[in-house]
Chain A
Amino acid sequence: MHEAGKGKELAARILKYIILIFWALTTIIPLLWVLVNSFKTSEEIVKNGVALPAAIQFNNYKTIMSYPDLSMSRAFINSFIISGSVVLGVVLIAGLAAFSLGRFRFKWTKYADAVLIACLLVPSFATMIPNFVTISKLPVRGTHAAAVIPQIAGNLCFSITLLTGFMRSLPDELDEAAIIDGASPFYVLTHITMPLSRPMFATVGIMVFIWSYNDLLTSMVYLSQRSKQPVCVILSMVSNMFGTDYGSMMAAIIVTIVPLLVLYVISQEQVIKGLTAGAVKG
């Protein structure tokens, strides 16, 4: 009886690891595939997408570095300026909004949720041109802010929805105690809700960063000067009239996502630190 229980437990544990490792494979292999293909020519990729390269060659990397009007270092700096500002703006504005939607009950709160969903569904083809006209009336044309502002607006609904959901799940006791002590809502937000919601803020921050970082269309349309554009624009440059240079595209993907992966791994550490800090306090 005791033995059988143990065997069952072991089987369950093995099954668990099999599922986890299987899924891990589905997520690692594509990335490896992109990496391997970045060393192949376009023709090799199309003809045999799974083979190893005939010879390791860095031509694709050289090609994307040599696009005549693009400075890679400048583009990376731009990316971090733009996406960093977007994340800051979103976290701040969505955090405030989620706090008031998630921690206060207004009669119209459910309508707010519907409005958020509606905004979430507005397609980019509908916002692109009207927003461009709006932005061109503001004194931001030619600066990074021209892309930052619409991107903040575009990511708000998603962030508010997630943060509100998380904040609603927090226990009420802590706020109530603080409020009885005469704390202001701002104090409750910065000293209780924010620290408790840190993991979700981190998750939202990461997602917004990734989306902003990969947002090619907004960057190209709102920032017309190459010297202000972020690094993702090279993803569009591998295509031209004559088709797409798949080899260069793979190289461009690797070049653009490596910083993202590094950033993700680092910020994950932060999240985990935040979690343990919360646990100690709790």
Chain B
Amino acid sequence: MKKMKKVLAVLAGSTMLSLSLAGCSQSAPQTGGAKTETEAADAGKAASGGKEKIRVFTFFTGSDQWAPVWSEVIAEYMAANPNIEIVDESAPTAGVNDVFRTKMQADIAAGTPADLSIFYTGADGKPLVDSGLFVDFGTYMKDDEKWSGNFKQSALDSQKYDGVQCSLPYLGYYEGLFYNKELFEKYGLEEPVSYDNIMKAIKVFAENDIPAFASSMAKPSYLLELSILAQSGGEGHKNYFDDSWAPALDSIAEWYQMGAFPKDTMTISEDDIRLMFKEGKAAMMINGSWCVSALEDNENMRLIAMPAFPGGKGGEDCVIAGFGSGWFFSKKAAERSDETLKLLKYLTSPEIVQRFIAVGGSSAIECPVPEGASLLKKSAVEMLNKASYTDTAIDSQVSREAWMAIADDGAPYLVEGKRTSLELLAEARKILEATSK
């Protein structure tokens, strides 16, 4: 559930910008009118009234913030290309039953994925890659370097499976420690830039009946991800579920015992967590870029990297950021004609991406920080710029079940003292081993 949210997070980190917009604006592929007739081969199957149908699948629908831009963009494209009919099969995500995933799973099983799809990458994208239904972008990118040059190499690399480029990154996210300066000042506390400051703050806030962290033990993933990075640092981050992660988990249990979390942390929902923090009823929140737009009107809000834990190797040079989703291009569509590729190039052109990012509330932030950006957003960019190590959240790197063993399934038992951090890590390693066989 959390991943879906994060995946859609607004692209904001300059370091993570997939399309370096500044340098490449001249290379927008022109999608001038119908210069080539639809190829005869596909006329029978895909054409209706001489039009070629292109099926696309995204999450830009309903109340999704990008939905209006998306509809505009595809309507414009159809107007400019009368030979093309875009069939929009988009499904919303993050609902109670995540239709978005189920739909993709069903289409993969039936061998009928849409011609162009946005889907989660990382561990979630693996089944798509394994299905063999999608193209390797390698040759396409070599053939048109003007277009492929728009993509930032690190973003592309983050979506490779065994060196194969199966998806193209689109929208990105980052995570960090949000805090409300006002509350820290009110209680004469120093800002949470070090572990000691955090511990002091927890004590003082607990005495005053204020949760130090707006966090839910029912959905503890962000809290865990950042704590683990603060402990492991860059070098230990990929050492999945190593015992060296244990101090991070133990710290969380200690905070819980100190009363750092809301009273109903075992059941509180993610929506309520965000509201609690926004309302100034909790001092800190470990969360991601998707929260920024709701918080930036408050000039007391700040975002920093999680400070290093005692003996830990993380700190402000390590951040979690990346791309949780990307475009997949079906082999069937690639064999049919060039039209789908043309559409993809259009959608990934700097002009169009810029329009998507403008909606995200955080316009495409380039270094340096744009004039008039909120203090929160400035602190976010600063956080990203300080980092020398950037990685995606662990939960998108390992099998979901293994992650859950220390997160939703394990953390409540851990903080209650019913299981130890080493037990949870051992169990997660066991699951990881079983799932990666």
Contacts and interface: CB of A to CB of B under 8 A. Distances in A.
Interface of A: 43, 46-47, 63, 67-70, 128-130, 132-133, 136, 141, 216-217, 220-221, 224-226, 234-245, 248
10 contacts: A128-B102, A132-B110, A141-B112, A221-B103, A236-B95, A240-B65, A240-B94, A241-B93, A243-B5, A248-B63
Interface in B271-297: 271-272, 274-275, 290, 294
B7 interface: yes
A67 B65 contact: no
Contacts of A67: 61-63, 67
A241 B94 contact: yes
A241 B97 CA distance: 13
Nearest to A235: B95
Interface centre among A43, A224, A234 (most CB of B within 10 A): A224
Interface string B71-82: 100000000000
Contact of A69 (B4, B71, B95, B110): B71
Nearest to B171: A241
Contacts of A243: 5, 94, 270-271, 274
Contacts of B92: 236-237, 239-240
B176 to A, nearest CB: 17
Given A46-B271, A129-B106, A241 B71 contact: no
B71 A133 contact: no
Contacts of B59: 240-241
A47 B275 CA distance: 9
Contacts of A130: 109
Contacts of A46: 271-272, 275
A132 B71 contact: no
Contacts of A242: 5, 8, 65, 290, 294
Contacts of A133: 106, 109-110
Nearest to A125: B102
B106 A239 contact: no
B106 A128 contact: yes
Given A68-B68, A69-B90, A129 B109 contact: yes
B63 A221 contact: no
Given A69-B61, A224-B89, A241-B290, 6 more contacts: A129-B109, A217-B99, A221-B106, A224-B91, A225-B89, A239-B93
B62 A234 contact: yes
A216 B89 CA distance: 15
B54 to A, nearest CB: 13
B9 interface: yes
A216 B106 contact: no
B87 A225 contact: yes
A220 B90 CA distance: 9
Contacts of A63: 63
Contacts of A239: 62-63, 92-96
Contacts, number: 121
A248 B94 CA distance: 15
B338 interface: no
B401 interface: no
A98 B433 CA distance: 50
Nearest to B108: A129
A163 B429 CA distance: 51
B112 A136 contact: yes
A220 B8 CA distance: 20
Contacts of B8: 240-242
Contacts of B57: 224
B197 interface: no
B105 interface: yes
B348 to A, nearest CB: 20
A68 B109 contact: no
Contacts of B272: 46
Given A69-B71, A69-B88, A236 B109 contact: no
Given A69-B90, A216-B97, A240 B63 contact: yes
Nearest to B104: A221
A129 B107 CA distance: 8
A100 B96 CA distance: 39
B264 interface: no
Contacts of A128: 102, 106
Nearest to A132: B106
Contacts of B65: 240, 242
A157 B364 CA distance: 54
Interface in B102-146: 102-103, 105-107, 109-110, 112, 114
Contacts of A245: 63
B416 interface: no
A43 B275 contact: yes
A217 to B, nearest CB: 5
Nearest to B290: A242
A46 B273 CA distance: 11
A202 B46 CA distance: 43
Contacts of A226: 61, 88-90
B71 A236 contact: no
B64 interface: yes
Contacts of B4: 241
Interface centre among A67, A128, A129, A243 (most CB of B within 10 A): A243
A220 B6 CA distance: 23
A129 B105 contact: yes
Contacts of B96: 239
B191 to A, nearest CB: 27
A235 B114 CA distance: 23
Shortest beta-carbon contacts, A-B, top 6:
A237-B62, A241-B8, A224-B89, A132-B106, A68-B71, A136-B110
A243 B288 CA distance: 13
A241 B275 contact: no
A226 B58 CA distance: 13
Contacts of A248: 63
Given A136-B110, A224-B89, A238 B102 contact: no
